Amino acid sequence: MCCSAVTLSLATITAVLGLLCLTVAFGTDSWMEIRVNRTLVRGTLQKDSEEYRSFETQMEYFSRDVGLLRVCFPEKRPKTMTTYMSPLQTDCVNINYYIPEDEVSDQFSEQRWERLHMARTCVALFIVSFIFSFFSFLTGFVGCWKRSYSNIIATGLLQILVALIAGGAMGLWHGVEYYDYKKLHDNLSYYAWPSILRRPGVTLFYYGWSYMLAWVGVAFSFLTGVLFLGSSHCLRREKDDEQAKNMQYLMPVYPDKRQPYAGYGYAAYPGPYPPYHPGSQYSTPYGY
């Protein structure tokens, strides 16, 4: 009883923590933190030049946090860009996944389409992982309530599946990052940025806390699955021990072939009775 109770309690805690981490990471924007030294950039640009005018309007000249759904500006934002306030009180714009597709996406190269499909699939996999997390919470509740061995196993397998799906989404996110900064060379990639921004020390890249939190959520989800599988083993062993203990109190019952009233005699009617003879004390009043 102690083994299954402890593992189920730990599995419940890690399941809640894993889902919370994945949800917060998915909804926040600090996956990639890009910091631009605007003071250094301003000192190298000539006034009234084309680059100087872009300094206040293009996104590449501003520090920003890139998430799965939004790009947010923690400091200043481009003057000509329409933004909205995020839940973390920063100015943000949505990432365009081109759903539906338009005339801009029609001009994409094959590699740009590969990058776009990976980005879409990354978001979709996180949503699928949340759906499987919901089902795992249902099976886990039923399993804990009824102490059902099969439901606990199903919950553990679903949680491991959640970890694998979310881990696959993280891998796709790294694939998108690789395409953006290494493989693509079109006008939307890193190589299309102004040369001043690509100088060492001008633009710095950091993995943000949302990215770290997502990996923590993946780890917690996988740990939850292992704990649920371990608790199912403990539960099965405890049920077997309980059944074996109850078998000791079961007495074998055999059929009794003795006479049901062997201990009782009939004194008033002793037997066997003597045979009937005419004229004896057992003769009838009619003499026959």
> What is the reported pLDDT for 288?
46
The torsion of the CA quartet 51, 52, 54, 60, rounded to 10 degrees, works out to: 80
> What is the reported pLDDT for 256?
55
Is beta strand 32-36 parallel, antiparallel or unpaired with respect to 64-66?
Answer: antiparallel
- pLDDT tens sequence across 191-225: 888 888 988 889 999 999 999 999 999 999 999 99
219 CB-near residues (< 8 Å, 6+ apart): 18, 163
**Under CATH, which architecture does the 2-242 domain have?**
Up-down Bundle (1.20)
> What is the reported pLDDT for 18?
95
> What is the reported pLDDT for 81?
85
The torsion of the CA quartet 162, 183, 29, 122, rounded to 10 degrees, works out to: -20
Residues of the chain with pLDDT under 50: 264-267, 269, 276, 282-283, 287-288
> What is the reported pLDDT for 86?
82
CA separation for the pair 62, 76 (Å, rounded): 7
Domain boundaries, the chain: 2-242
- pLDDT tens sequence across 47-75: 766 777 788 888 899 999 999 999 999 98
